[in-house]
């Protein structure tokens, strides 16, 4: 895709720019999935940097869902590179971006808040981790019910890190939900 | 003219009938034909009196073979005495005029519509120039299956059942081995039938000629007498319906002959209408590209869609036919053989053909594969062909049935050749009709269904009856793609990108983890992979321009597959 995008004759349109950003996003994510920390960070940053250049008609930074996800993804990349504090800063930026959107919903925090919980746990702040994770569990329980089968991302982020379950009060619920998904 | 004919006919009739009634040597066929031809001149009146049903041909002379003798009580024979040829008479009267006046004739009238038959020459094994293939391999299960359908069984003693023609249809794409299998069946079961006839059934005129040849082979007609093809055909059909060993012997089961009639290449069912035997102690084996041949009234009670060889079968077959020219003591080349037969789609025709090419060019498997990847099967075939003229060149595409397709059917096949051969959701193709601008691709559903029907009929594609998904053999895809020039390749590839994109359920970033689209994606994803794999090759062509839709499609499909992991 990168090759295709590089070869496109007209790269000036937002449609092309979106595809180029999406390509970096996908490449970064794929690198993260394969533990290629360096490329995960490189592509995620490129993606975020492209978004930070977008402006509204009155010259303000364009805030949208994509930007929120972009901050979250760069936070993940930093976390994978062991830079937990920088990662937390990006997750917080992600939450702030989502909360600034006119169509904000609490469920948008599924990724960054559970990631913050994970960072706290990695840094040894278990109480903070439990608070963050419990909060996001409640948000999703409220939105989708106890046996939530919509929230692949939420469950995956929590359950794939099994040790983290020790700090999650509603452990049985999470396990049951995970089984439903499988 | 009529008058002269009648005059001459009456004279001939007198002498002929006189000979017959006086017990002299049987009438000369030549005289009979002369008589009858003159008698009826150019009339269909014979039909009106039920002599012989109307034929598809306009050659009414063909209906003149039976020797008609009216019983003495027939009202028309009341005329008695010599005909007054001065009086205006109809051709019907002229015909009847050849009957014997009671006053002059024998008091024992001949049976109505009696036909003078030559004795059949049995056993008769009329296989044209088809010889048994010493390299014939496998398919024993199918041969047994045909036996069960065509050979009379001990249980099948009911008179009605015995007189019903049994039939079996071998269906499948060109090159899958239908004809070879039918040849093998005929040769290996030669002792099971008193007569076996092979006819090419792709055209009515050819088939008529073929039946005339059978009439000669079977001894029903002399070679010099078969100018009248329809007569010959009816003679053969008559014998098939009443297959006697001898016309002189009394009717009994021991005088019944068994027969097998093989219609090869019966792709158009209407061609068979005038040739399909309905009764008789016989069996019909049909080969056809059209899968419907299995269920057509006029083609088969039973049948099978013949598939290419499985990989182990194909490997074994390839090994057998290449062993004779490869130097002895070669190390086992299972991997190369497997790759070769996979490239050839397990099609017996191509395996045989390419083995011949390997022999002529002295190629090892590895060299063949390298050449094949570089140049394509069609090119290799031509390169390795010893034919000197273009007309002699054997083309794979023609053999598997691409020649003769309509432009739209080819247009559809080209698009199909870009997608996943195992499973192409039909909505990709139907959706493409309204958005694709490639010249020969169907532009609406009516055109699409017509093109699809032709491809199905030729067994070039298949359709899952439940899901309606299309599947196609890889070799068909390869050969179809090889027919495309560079510009056309680019056009069809881009059209395929548009077609799949229009069916692909793109997801917004916000809902990319939503699993509800997964089922749709799963059906389309293999075709996306095919397109992605073909991107590099297509992009290297001069007329190719990189475009956004392919990037969008590959991006989103990449995300989908990422979510599955």
Torsions phi, psi for B389 (to 5 deg): -110, 155
Which residues on chain B are in Cβ contact (under 8 Å) with A98?
A: none
B471 CB near a chain A CB, below 8 Å? no
Mutate to test the interface with A, among B501, B509, B516, B562 (most CBs of A within 10 A): B509
pLDDT of residue A80: 92
Cβ–Cβ below 8 Å for A8 and B546: yes
Tell me, rounded to whole angstroms, the distance of Cα B515 from its chain centroid.
Answer: 48
Residue B539: its chain A contacts at CB < 8 A? 7
d(CA B554, nearest CA chain A) in Å = 7
CATH 3.30.750.24 assigned to domain B124-305? The reply is: no
**Which H, E and C letters describe B441-500, residue by residue?**
CCCCHHHHHHHHHHHHHCCCEEECCCCCCEEECHHHHHHHHHHCCHHHHHHHHHHHHHHH
Domain-by-domain residue ranges, chain B? 2-109, 124-305, 313-394, 409-564
- Contact criterion met (CB < 8 Å) for A152 and B513: yes
Evaluate whether A137 touches A175 at the Cβ level (below 8 Å).
no
CA pair distance B365, B335, nearest whole angstrom = 10
Q: Taking each helix axis from N to C terminus, what angle separates B29-40 and B2-21, rounded to the nearest 10 degrees?
A: 140
Contact state of B562 with A29 under an 8 Å Cβ cutoff: yes
* Residues B409-564, CATH architecture: Orthogonal Bundle (1.10)
Distance CA(A23)–CA(A28), nearest Å, equals 8
A5 chain-B contacts, CB cut-off 8 A: 551
3 state SS for B151-210: CCCCCCCCHHHHCECEEEEEECCCCCCHHHHHHHHHHHCHHHCCEEEEEECCCHHHHHHH
Which pLDDT belongs to residue A150?
64
pLDDT number for residue B329? 63
Averages of pLDDT over each 10 residues, chain B, 565 residues: 50 47 39 36 32 33 36 42 38 35 41 62 87 85 92 62 81 86 95 93 81 88 71 87 85 85 87 82 89 69 87 88 69 81 85 77 82 72 50 55 84 94 91 91 94 84 84 81 89 95 90 80 88 87 82 89 69
Which one of A2, A3, A4, A8 would you mutate to disrupt binding with B, by most B Cβ within 10 Å of its Cβ? A4
Write out B119-140 in H/E/C secondary structure: CCCCCEEECCCCCCCCCCCCCH
pLDDT (0 to 100) of residue B226: 58
Question: Which of A4, A30, A152 has its CB closest to that of B550?
Answer: A4
Q: Report the C-alpha gap between B299 and B170 in whole angstroms.
A: 10
**Would you state the pLDDT for residue B302?**
84
Contacts of A152 in chain B (CB under 8 A): 513, 515, 563
B486-534 pLDDT, tens digit per residue, is: 899 999 999 999 999 999 999 888 777 777 888 888 889 889 988 988 8
Q: What is the pLDDT of residue B353?
A: 74
pLDDT at A93: 96
From the CA of B512, how many Å to the nearest CA of chain A?
10
Cis peptide before B530 (omega within 30 of 0): no
- Whether residues A8 and B515 touch (CB distance < 8 A) is answered with no
Q: What is the mean pLDDT of residues A162-168?
A: 43
Please state the rounded mean pLDDT for residues A11-40. Answer: 88
Please provide residue B26's backbone torsions phi and psi, each rounded to the nearest 5 degrees.
Answer: -60, 150
Residues 31-50 of A with CB under 8 A from B: 33
Which residues of chain A are within 8 Å of residue B563 when distances are taken between CB atoms? 152
pLDDT of residue B565: 58
Burial class (CB in 10 A: 0-12, 13-18, 19+), B37: middle
Q: What is the pLDDT of residues B445-480, one digit of tens each?
A: 999 999 998 888 777 888 877 788 998 877 788 888
User: Which residues in chain B touch residue A19, judged by CB atoms under 8 angstroms apart?
Assistant: 548, 551-552, 555
């Amino acid at each position: 895709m990168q090759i295709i995008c590089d070869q496109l004759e007209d790269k000036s349109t937002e449609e092309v720019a979106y595809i180029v950003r999406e390509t970096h996003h996908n490449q970064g994510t794929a690198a993260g999935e394969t533990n290629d920390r360096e490329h995960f960070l490189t592509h995620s940053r490129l993606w975020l940097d492209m978004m930070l250049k977008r402006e509204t008609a009155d010259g303000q930074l364009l805030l949208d869902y994509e930007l929120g996800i972009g901050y979250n993804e760069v936070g993940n990349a930093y976390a994978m590179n062991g830079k937990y504090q920088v990662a937390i800063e990006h997750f917080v930026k992600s939450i702030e971006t989502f909360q600034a959107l006119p169509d904000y919903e609490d469920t948008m925090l599924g990724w960054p808040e559970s990631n913050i919980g994970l960072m706290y746990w990695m840094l040894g702040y278990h109480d903070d981790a439990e608070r963050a994770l419990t909060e996001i569990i409640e948000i999703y329980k409220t939105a989708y019910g106890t046996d939530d089968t919509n929230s692949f991302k939420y469950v995956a982020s929590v359950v794939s890190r099994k040790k983290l379950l020790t700090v999650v009060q509603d452990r049985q619920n999470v396990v049951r939900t995970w089984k439903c998904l499988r | 003219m009529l008058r002269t004919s009648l005059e001459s006919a009456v004279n001939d009739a007198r002498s002929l009938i006189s000979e017959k009634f006086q017990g002299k040597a049987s009438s000369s066929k030549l005289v009979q034909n002369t008589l009858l031809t003159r008698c009826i001149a150019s009339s269909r009146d014979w039909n009106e009196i039920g002599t012989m049903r109307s034929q598809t041909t306009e050659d009414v002379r063909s209906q003149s073979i039976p020797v008609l003798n009216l019983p003495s009580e027939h009202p028309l024979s009341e005329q008695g005495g010599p005909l007054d040829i001065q009086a205006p008479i109809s051709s019907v009267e002229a015909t009847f005029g050849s009957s014997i006046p009671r006053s002059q004739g024998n008091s024992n009238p001949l049976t109505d519509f009696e036909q003078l038959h030559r004795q059949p020459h049995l056993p008769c094994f009329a296989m044209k120039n088809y010889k048994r293939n010493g390299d014939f391999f496998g398919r024993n299960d199918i041969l047994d299956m045909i036996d069960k359908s065509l050979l009379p069984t001990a249980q099948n003693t009911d008179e009605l059942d015995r007189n019903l023609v049994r039939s079996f249809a071998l269906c499948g794409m060109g090159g899958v081995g239908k004809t070879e299998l039918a040849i093998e069946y005929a040769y290996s079961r030669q002792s099971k039938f008193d007569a076996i006839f092979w006819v090419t059934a792709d055209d009515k005129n050819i088939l008529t000629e073929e039946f005339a040849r059978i009439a000669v082979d079977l001894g029903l007609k002399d070679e010099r007498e078969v100018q009248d093809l329809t007569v010959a055909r009816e003679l053969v059909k008559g014998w098939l319906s009443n297959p006697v060993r001898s016309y002189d012997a009394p009717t009994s089961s021991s005088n019944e002959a068994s027969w097998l009639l093989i219609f090869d290449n019966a792709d158009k069912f209407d061609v068979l209408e005038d040739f399909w035997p309905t009764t008789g102690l016989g069996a019909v084996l049909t080969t056809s590209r059209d899968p419907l041949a299995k269920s057509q009234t006029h083609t088969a009670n039973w049948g099978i869609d013949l598939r290419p060889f499985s990989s182990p079968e194909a490997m074994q077959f390839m090994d057998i036919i290449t062993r004779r020219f490869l130097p002895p003591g070669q190390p086992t080349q299972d991997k190369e053989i497997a790759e070769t037969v996979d490239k050839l789609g397990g099609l017996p025709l191509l395996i045989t053909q390419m083995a011949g090419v390997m022999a002529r060019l002295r190629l090892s498997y590895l060299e063949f594969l390298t050449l094949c990847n570089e140049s394509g099967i069609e090119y290799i075939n031509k390169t390795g062909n010893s034919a000197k003229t273009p007309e002699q060149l054997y083309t794979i595409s023609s053999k598997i049935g691409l020649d003769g397709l309509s432009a739209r059917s080819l247009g559809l096949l080209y698009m199909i050749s870009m997608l996943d051969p195992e499973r192409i959701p039909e909505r990709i193709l139907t959706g493409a009709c309204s958005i694709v601008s490639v010249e020969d691709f169907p532009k609406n559903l009516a055109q699409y269904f017509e093109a699809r029907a032709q491809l199905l009929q030729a067994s070039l594609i298949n359709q899952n009856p439940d899901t309606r998904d299309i599947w196609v053999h890889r070799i068909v895809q390869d050969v179809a793609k090889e027919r495309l020039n560079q510009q056309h390749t680019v056009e069809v590839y881009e059209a395929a990108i548009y077609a799949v994109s229009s069916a692909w359920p793109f997801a917004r970033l916000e809902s990319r983890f939503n699993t509800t689209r997964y089922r749709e994606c799963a059906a389309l994803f293999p075709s996306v992979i095919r397109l992605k794999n073909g991107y590099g090759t297509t992009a290297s062509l001069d007329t190719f321009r990189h475009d956004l839709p392919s990037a969008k499609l590959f991006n989103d499909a990449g995300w989908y597959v990422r979510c599955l992991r």
